[in-house]
Amino acid sequence: MRVSTRGEYGVRAMFDLALNYGNGPIPLKAVAKRQLVSETYLEQLLGALRRAGLVSSTRGAQGGYELAHPPERITVGQIIRVLEGPITPLDCLDTDSGSGPYCGQPDQCVLRGLWKNLQDSMERVLDNTTLEDLRSKAIRLGVAQGQ
């Protein structure tokens, strides 16, 4: 039931880019330093987020990364899905095509309801929290580190 560091660091990095949204590309090095994440590791994560269309990059000197959309249009759920795969407690909830609604055993549809409830409640939180929500809260608390 844990988020791995991929998801955790990825959200931190995206939060950082949200705070700096509108200031042009931000070098990975700056994000890594502020968010206390290894540069080489973060490179992997931002690469995946770029390929998924959540950030855009500019190469070369004065280059860097920026959000591909305004902060209010990017949710934490999107970020987690790119970095950790589907948000689901059990794989069979997503691939119900393969094993049918019963997961192979009739009584499992009882337990399936349980796991589905859990999935829904996780997705409800993650899909309804945008980077803008996090940004405005940071500003309200006065912890937004500019640029």
Pick the piece of the chain touching a second copy (CB under 8 A) from 22-30, 46-54, 56-64, 131-139. Answer: 131-139
The item of DNA, a second copy, none sharing an interface with residue 66, based on CB under 5 to 8 Å by kind, is none
What residues have CB less than 8 Å from 31, skipping those under 6 apart?
Answer: 13, 16, 17, 37, 42, 46, 65
Among 60, 97, 101, 110, binds a second copy (CB under 8 A): 110
39-51 vs 76-84: helix crossing angle, rounded to 10: 110
C-beta neighbour count of 27 within 10 angstroms: 15
- The region, left, alpha or beta by phi > 0 then psi within -120 to 50, assigned to residue 104 is left
Between 80 and 130, CB nearer to DNA: 80
Between 25 and 71, CB nearer to DNA: 25
Residues in the site for a second copy, rule: CB under 8 A? Answer: 1-3, 7-8, 11-12, 15, 35-36, 76, 80, 84, 87-91, 104-111, 113-115, 117-118, 121-122, 124-126, 129, 134, 137-138, 141, 143-145
